[in-house]
């Protein structure tokens, strides 16, 4: 079972890299497609945050724990963005302004993958194998638009598709790392499941509103952004419902 938990969590990590695929199918010189992709990814992430992570958290804990976790996740993103903005970090030979958003998104996604790894481990530790597997599948699917969110600013600055893939996979690396310890230490991780899932959802919601939607609106009309978000949200909602989560 330990091996199964690790392999499933590893697959959810690799799934994040699939978010790079839309970037390979379109002309990188196009002005509108990054905005549409950002809106679509944002819609999927909003849907996953509310209808998968937050909903599952409410089933496993009380509302106060979930709300506190979501606010903590949002606060984490806001604080991390400010810290990065105050630094002089750079990626490759890019300017500080070009590097800032990529660093914020990569760092935030990396941290918020920790509770998702906990969720996978605890899901299996409940003894409900179907629940653990379906939860892992849902996380893997919503990792894909997260990978797109990570890759968009990198690609816009000229990063190769392989670099985008590597950074995307890096952001979900905590999932296979913490899934097995969480499975083994379920007595400790179980009380943290609800607020941890809330934390992941809150961080994603704040990321969508603070970064993805403004990026989409900068190059797309409000109607185009609204449609992209709506289609992404409905697509993820349909998948979540199909899994029975």
Render pLDDT for 176-223 as a digit per residue (tens, 0 to 9).
999 999 888 876 777 888 888 888 889 889 988 988 899 899 889 999
Band of pLDDT at residue 165, cut at 50, 70 and 90: very high
Q: What is the pLDDT of residues 91-132, one digit of tens each?
A: 766 776 667 777 877 887 888 788 888 888 888 887 777 778
Q: What's the rounded Cα separation, in Å, for the pair 226 and 39?
A: 8
What average pLDDT score do residues 65-73 get?
93
| The predicted structure's pLDDT at residue 148 | 86
Write the DSSP symbol of residue 190. G
Q: What's the rounded Cα separation, in Å, for the pair 208 and 69?
A: 17
- Cβ atoms of 57 and 197 within 8 Å: the answer is yes
Reply yes or no on whether the pLDDT at 173 is more than 70: yes
| The predicted structure's pLDDT at residue 166 | 93
Q: Could you tell me which residues come within 8 angstroms of residue 100 by beta carbon, excluding any fewer than 6 positions away?
A: 84, 85, 89
Which residue ranges make up each domain of the chain?
2-243
**Smallest Cα–Cα separation from 54: which of 39, 38, 67?**
67
Band of pLDDT at residue 30, cut at 50, 70 and 90: low
**Smallest Cα–Cα separation from 112: which of 4, 201, 26?**
201
To the nearest 10°, report the CA torsion of 19, 99, 74, 11.
Answer: 30
Cα–Cα distance list, 123 to 14, 76, 138, 153 (Å) = 19, 25, 12, 33
Residues in the chain: 245
Reply yes or no on whether the pLDDT at 143 is more than 90: no
Q: What is the pLDDT of residues 78-94, one digit of tens each?
A: 888 788 767 777 776 67
% of residues, the chain, pLDDT over 70: 93
| The predicted structure's pLDDT at residue 72 | 93
- Cβ atoms of 120 and 5 within 8 Å: the answer is yes
Least confident of 6-10, 156-160, 185-189, 236-240: 185-189
Element (H, E) at 38: helix 33-47
Is this prediction's pTM over 0.95? no
Pull the structure tokens for residue 156: 């816009």
Pull the structure tokens for residue 103: 């660093």
| The predicted structure's pLDDT at residue 18 | 93
Pull the structure tokens for residue 139: 């996380």
């Amino acid at each position: 079972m330990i091996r199964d938990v690790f392999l499933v969590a590893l697959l959810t990590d690799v799934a994040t890299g699939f978010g790079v695929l839309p970037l390979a199918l379109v002309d990188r010189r196009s002005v509108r497609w990054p905005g549409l992709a950002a809106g679509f990814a944002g819609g999927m992430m909003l849907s996953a945050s509310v209808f998968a992570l937050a909903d599952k958290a409410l089933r496993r804990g009380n509302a106060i724990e979930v709300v506190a976790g979501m606010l903590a996740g949002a606060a984490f993103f806001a604080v991390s963005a400010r810290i990065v903005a105050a630094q002089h970090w750079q990626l490759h030979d890019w300017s500080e302004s070009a590097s800032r958003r990529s660093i914020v998104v990569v760092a935030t996604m990396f941290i918020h993958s920790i509770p998702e790894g906990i969720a996978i481990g605890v899901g299996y530790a409940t003894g409900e194998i179907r629940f653990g597997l379906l939860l892992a599948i849902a996380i893997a699917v919503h990792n894909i638009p997260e990978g797109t969110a990570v890759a968009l600013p990198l690609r816009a600055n000229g990063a190769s598709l392989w670099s985008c893939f590597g950074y995307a996979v890096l952001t979900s690396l905590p999932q296979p790392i913490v899934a097995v310890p969480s499975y083994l230490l379920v007595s400790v991780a179980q009380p943290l499941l609800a607020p941890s899932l809330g934390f992941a959802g809150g961080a994603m919601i704040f990321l969508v509103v603070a970064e993805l939607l403004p990026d989409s609106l900068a190059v797309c009309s409000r109607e185009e952004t609204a449609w992209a978000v709506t289609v992404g949200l409905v697509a993820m909602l349909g998948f979540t419902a199909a899994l029975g989560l």
